[in-house]
Amino acid sequence: MTAQPLPALTSGDPSAWDQALYAFLIEKGNRSGSKRTVESYSRMLWPFFADLGKTPDRVKPADVLAWVHGIGKSGRTPSATTVGARIACLSSLYRFLIRMGLVVSNPCDAVERPRAVQSVARGYSADEVRRLLAVVPDTIAGRRDRAILLTLVLTGRRRAEVIGLRAGDLSLEGETTFYAYRGKGGKRGRRELPHPAYEAICATLADAGKELATMAPAESLWQAAARPEGVTSGTFYARFRRYLAAAGMAPTGIHVLRHTAAKLRRDAGESIESVSQFLDHSSLAVTSVYLRRLEGQEDLTWREVAQAIGV
């Protein structure tokens, strides 16, 4: 992917520094495979240099410190997460500029990162998934949403990866259906599509008057009760929140279903290695932290301590 057109820092032709920022954003997009990351970084970087009125080689640690802790357009003091995101964004740019030989040091290195407060991950139990599916109505839109929910839970893919599925991504080999995907960081894969998800997809395609065998490769799988391009990510998210409310479950983001997919596979006896491969994690260490946050840590000695103190 390439970065979207962005305003130059100065009027007229882009300066060498403007071009360096464009190059950084393009590289970031190509490496992450995420348009959202590029947009987020551009929203932070261009205003930072424009408001500061300095080129990157003249930025000092004090400038960085004032910016990362500064009050933004919201009028609120930035959270530790926002401060960390700002530092990470700017520091990433400077690492790029150092590699390109345009600067010799990173002013972010002198700025202390905020202490990270790890949020508690949440994964639904099998009973909770059944509760959620039970409130999805047996309507055209409901059957489409059910197919999306099943695909998310059974494959563990991210929301954008599932919403972006097209007819050409599915292939049938004998009794087995496979789906192709492009994951985070540009990772590509081809995996078996669990049969319940495939059946649900066929049902929603039938509602849209479609059959997988005759569809054009670029056609969305989620056209039922939606535009030909398929249901949007935002629309599905809003409907997902309504289903949570109907099921008496706390509001949360769709990423909880990826947590759920990992948790359910671990509960079913899969090894950490298998779950790591399933999630496309970069290392077992990442998966171990992921699962530990989901499962909690068992206390193996509290009984002995309780007995010792007589309770």
**Structure confidence by residue, pLDDT tens digits, 44-98:** 999 999 999 999 999 999 999 999 999 877 788 888 888 989 999 999 999 999 9
In this prediction, residue 10 carries a pLDDT of 44
CATH level 2 (architecture), domain 16-110 = Orthogonal Bundle (1.10)
Quick: pLDDT tens for 163-189. Answer: 999 999 999 998 899 999 887 767 788
Please give the CATH number for the structural domain made up of 126-295. 1.10.443.10
Question: Exposed, middle or buried, 16 (CB in 10 Å: 0-12/13-18/19+)?
Answer: exposed
Share of the chain above pLDDT 90, in %: 56
Query: Which residue, among 234, 194, 245, 202, has the nearest Cα to 221 in the 3D structure?
Result: 202
pTM comes to 0.65
Domain residue limits, the chain: 16-110, 126-295
8 Å CB contact between 179 and 170: yes
